Structure 1
C-alpha cells in the first residue's frame, strides 16, 4: 500500500513494508520438532498479505507425527496421504527466508506444499532428510566368473535386515527390497559407463551376511560391478515416489532463490498449473556422505504457463532428469454426444491432474498420428474421480473422427528460459522440453548419461504433450553426452510412437535452432530429428573426447521425415573419420554446406531397406 503526504515543499512517498515474523518468537527453534508450531504459525498468517517468515540460522527438525496431513494427488509421484511441514494454502505475497538454515526431515513428509498462492518466495535454506530414500553399497569384492559381489553397507546409515537370503532396507517404517538400481562411479560421481551392464534383478538375488557391515550378493547380476563402484537401489512403485521436496499447484509468481535440495523421496521440485516461475541459484546435489541426491527429477513442470526462468542453478547426482517441461495428453474414452467427452487420465502418476477450466482453449487430436485436427474451448469439466472426468466443449467438428482421440490444453503452455546452469553426473537426461511456448536454452554446461536435450511428446506412455514451435539452443557446452551408450544424442527431437501409431501428413515439431554449441564427444553423435519442420544445425563445434572408451554408434546427424533443414558451418575435429549425415527419402528441402569433418550419406537407410 502506498501513502502520500506533503513534507515541507517536497512530496514524500512512504511505502508500507512487509511484516517480518521471527519464527523464534513463536517457539520454532533448533533442537526440537518444529512441525506443529510452524503449522500453527502459517495458519495464523494465512489471510495476511506481504509476510516474511524469518528463520535464524540453524538446523530445524520436522517430524510427521504432528504435521498437517491430507490426501494429495502429486503429478509424477504416488498419490496418497501427505504430511506437510510448510502447508502454504491461499496466501498472498509470502516469503520463507531460511537465513542459511538446514530444514531436516525425519519421515514421509513433503517439506513444502504450495497451493493457490499468489506471490511466494522461498530463499536461503537447504532441505535434507535424516535417512535417505535410497541405499548405497560399496563394492569391495567382485567375481566376474560367477557374477557375485561383496558389498560394504553401514547399517547405521542405511538400516537393513537379511533373512532367508533376502534383504529389506528400512526407510521410515517402510521395508523395501532391492528394486530399481544403478551403479555409480565414485571417481566421476556419475553413473558408471554403460551402467546397464551391471543392473541386478533383486527378486533373483541371494544375500548372505558376512559381518555387521558386509554381505555377499549372488545371482541376479547381468555382470558383476567392478570393485570400488557403488550400487544404488531406490525401491519400487508405489512406494518409491512419495515425498518430493517442494510441490506447487494452481499458483502464481513462484520464486526460489539460493535453495539447496540434498535429498527427496521423489523430485526436488514438482510444479503443476502455475503461472510464472523463477529459479535463481537453486541447487539439487548430494551431500559429501552420499553419491545420489534426489530419487527423481531435480525439477519438473506440468501444465504451467507464463515464463519458467531457470538461471545460475546446479543440478547433479539425481536419479532422473534435471528439468522436464510439458503438458498432458488425456485420452478420450467415449464421445457422449452434446459436445461431451468422457476422458481418462491414463498414466498412474498423472491421476488427479487438473486438466483445465472453463475458458481454456483445447485441441482434439488423433491418437494414431498424435496430430491435432480441431480447436475448441472448455465449457465445463465435471470431475468423476482421480482417473476420469467429463469434458464439455463449446463446439466439435461436424464429422468427428471415429478413431482413437485425445485432448490437450493449449492455454497452459509456458515459455522457458534455461540459462547459465550446470547439469552433470545424473541418471537420464539433462533437459526434456515439450511446450508450445518460446524456448531459450543457452550458456549451460550439460553432461548427462543419456540424451542432452530430449524434445519428444508421446500419446502412449507418459502422455506428455507439447509439440514445440520455437526452440533456440545456443552457446551450450555438451560434455560426454550418452555414456549410458546406445545412440544418445546432445539433441534428440522426435515424438515417441507405439507400433499402433504412425506419422501423419504434417510434421510434429517445428522451428528448432541448434547453433554455436560446443560438443566434447567420445561417440561422434550430434543431432537426431524425426518429424520436424524447420531445423537449423549451424556453427557447432565437435571435439573428440578421450574421457570414455571410443564408441562408433552411427551417424552424427540423422534426419527422418523432416522438412526445411539447414546444416552448415559445423566443425568436427579429432575423430578418426568424417562424421556422417544421413537422411531418409521422406525428408525434404535439406541444405548442407561447409561442414569440415562431416560427410553426407544421403538416403543410406532407405537404400539399405530397399536392397
Structure 2
C-alpha cells in the first residue's frame, strides 16, 4: 500500500557530482521584505552579537513575540550568537522552535549561530510561508573524534587524535569510518561500522582515553582496522538536525550554510512546497574538518507539492545528499468489504493522517477490494466510486491509529479518510 499525498517533483539544479561534494549554479538575487511586515530584533530581547554570552533565552523570547502575528521579520543583527549545551528552553531537544506561525522571515543578516552538545537548532511545526535566510550554523566542538590509527588488533584499536576532533564531552560511539589520510575520502573497501540502534546490532564494546590525545576503542566482534588509516568517529549520527520541518507549507531556506550538526541538515515530514536556494553544507574553508552534517544532507518523508534544490552544495556529509520517500504500508488484514488494516513498517515513519489518500498497489488486491488501482487521477477515482456506490455514497472511511502498534485502518482503494 503506497502513501502518496500528491505527486512530488524534485528540481535539482546540481551541476556536478564529485567526491568532494555536489555544487551548483550561480549566486543571484537579493531578498526583500514584504510591504507591511513588522520587524522584531533579537537585540531588543537581550541577545547581543559577539558578547560571548549564552543567547538561548533571549532568542526564545523573541520567537515567542512572533506568535500570533501574520507577517514578521525576525532579525539577527550581524555577528556571532552562542547557544550553550544543556540550555534548551525551546521545545524538547530543539533550541529555536516555531509552531503555528503564518508569514515569517528569519533574517540572519550574515550571522553565525554557534551551538554546543546534543541539541537541534531549528524546528518548524504547522507553519505557513516561512523563509530562513542569510545565516550560518556551526558547533564549537563537533561530536566527532578523528585521527590516525596507530595500533590495531581484532578486538581493539588506538587512534592518535587530531587537535580539531577530540570528541570532548561525548558519551558513546555510533559510527566509525576509515578514510584515506592523503585524499581525505572514505577508503575503498575500508571499514564502515554503524552502531546506532535500530539499524545495527552492537559492534562497539567501549572506548576510553589512554592518553591526552590517544583514544582506545574496544570492539564487540572481530574487526581488524587498518593501521595508518584516518579513523573518523561519529559520537552522534542522527536526531539533532539543523532544521526539522514538519507539517508546513511553503518553506524556504535561502543563503544558509551548515558547517556541522549532529544529525541531518534538513529533515522534513508531511510538508508541502519546499525551496532550498544556495544552501551550503560543508566544513569551514581551510579547516581540517572532514564532516559537515553527521547524517543525510536532506531527507524528505511523505512531502507534497514541489521540492526544489537549487544552487546548493553538499560536501563532507555523513550520508546521502538527499532522500525523498513515499513509504509503503503492509496490508495485514481485511476487516470487511470496504476496510483493510495496514501497518507502518518503520517505527520512525508517521502513520497516515485524516484526508491522506492510500493506494493499493499489489495486483493480488485486484477485484478483492474496490476496483484495481490504476494511474487515474483522483477525480477519476471519485467518479468511479460514485458510479459504484451512487452519488450519495460516502467516499470516506474510518481511520483508527493505535500508537503502540503503529497501525491504521483505511477504506477502499483511493478513498479519503476521516475520523
TM-score range, shorter chain: 0.7 to 0.9
More displaced stretch, 288-297 vs 15-24: 15-24
Q: 1:25 aligns with which of 28, 44, 48?
A: 44
Partner of 2:56: 35
Give SS of 2:147's match.
strand
CA shift for structure 1 position 114: 0.6
CA shift for structure 1 position 204: 6.8
Give SS of 2:326's match.
strand
Q: Is residue 59 from structure 1 mapped to residue 80 from structure 2 by the alignment?
A: yes
CA shift for structure 1 position 386: 6.1
Q: Is residue 151 from structure 1 mapped to residue 148 from structure 2 by the alignment?
A: no
The alpha-carbon distance between structure 1 residues 154 and 408, as it changes in their structure 2 partners (threshold 3 A), is farther
Query: In 1, distance between residues paired with 2:401 and 2:361?
Result: 21
CA shift for structure 1 position 286: 2.2
Partner of 2:257: 260
CA shift for structure 1 position 45: 1.7
CA shift for structure 1 position 343: 2.8
Partner of 1:214: 214
User: 1:226-265 CA distances to partner (integer Å, 9 max, x unpaired)?
Assistant: 52x3212225xxx742211100011111111111112222
Give SS of 2:111's match.
strand
The alpha-carbon distance between structure 1 residues 331 and 147, as it changes in their structure 2 partners (threshold 3 A), is closer
CA contact 2:363–2:372 (8 Å) conserved in 1: no
How much is the aligned-residue C-alpha RMSD, in angstroms? 3.5
Alignment of 1:274-353 (within 5 A): 274-287=271-284, 288-337=287-336, 339-350=338-349, 353=350
CA shift for structure 1 position 22: 2.1
Q: Is residue 362 from structure 1 mapped to residue 381 from structure 2 by the alignment?
A: no
CA contact 2:178–2:232 (8 Å) conserved in 1: yes
Give SS of 2:74's match.
strand
Q: Is residue 88 from structure 1 mapped to residue 98 from structure 2 by the alignment?
A: yes
Partner of 1:225: 226
CA contact 1:179–1:202 (8 Å) conserved in 2: no
The alpha-carbon distance between structure 1 residues 386 and 292, as it changes in their structure 2 partners (threshold 3 A), is farther
Query: In 2, distance between residues paired with 1:368 and 1:20?
Result: 58
CA contact 2:176–2:193 (8 Å) conserved in 1: no
Partner of 2:180: 185
The alpha-carbon distance between structure 1 residues 119 and 29, as it changes in their structure 2 partners (threshold 3 A), is same
> Could you say which structure has the higher strand fraction?
1
What is the TM-score with the length of structure 2 in the denominator? 0.73
What is the TM-score with the length of structure 1 in the denominator? 0.51
Query: In 1, distance between residues paired with 2:208 and 2:400?
Result: 55
Query: In 2, distance between residues paired with 1:198 and 1:257?
Result: 34
The alpha-carbon distance between structure 1 residues 272 and 189, as it changes in their structure 2 partners (threshold 3 A), is same
The alpha-carbon distance between structure 1 residues 318 and 374, as it changes in their structure 2 partners (threshold 3 A), is same
Query: In 1, distance between residues paired with 2:78 and 2:337?
Result: 60
CA contact 1:184–1:232 (8 Å) conserved in 2: yes
CA shift for structure 1 position 142: 5.3
Query: In 1, distance between residues paired with 2:101 and 2:299?
Result: 23
Give SS of 2:131's match.
strand
Query: In 2, distance between residues paired with 1:261 and 1:246?
Result: 10
The alpha-carbon distance between structure 1 residues 336 and 244, as it changes in their structure 2 partners (threshold 3 A), is same
User: 1:18-41 CA distances to partner (integer Å, 9 max, x unpaired)?
Assistant: 222222122122322222222222
Structure 1: gaps spanning 5 or more residues: 1-14, 71-81, 161-169, 397-406, 410-611
CA contact 1:64–1:84 (8 Å) conserved in 2: no
More displaced stretch, 18-27 vs 130-139: 130-139
How many aligned positions are there?
350
CA shift for structure 1 position 188: 2.6
CA contact 1:34–1:60 (8 Å) conserved in 2: yes
More displaced stretch, 88-97 vs 29-38: 29-38
User: 1:544-599 CA distances to partner (integer Å, 9 max, x unpaired)?
Assistant: xxxxxxxxxxxxxxxxxxxxxxxxxxxxxxxxxxxxxxxxxxxxxxxxxxxxxxxx
Give SS of 2:57's match.
helix
CA shift for structure 1 position 340: 3.1
Partner of 1:111: 121
Q: 1:131 aligns with which of 125, 128, 141?
A: 141
Partner of 1:47: 68
Query: In 2, distance between residues paired with 1:208 and 1:243?
Result: 24
CA shift for structure 1 position 159: 4.5
Alignment of 1:445-460 (within 5 A): none
Give SS of 2:48's match.
coil
CA shift for structure 1 position 183: 0.9
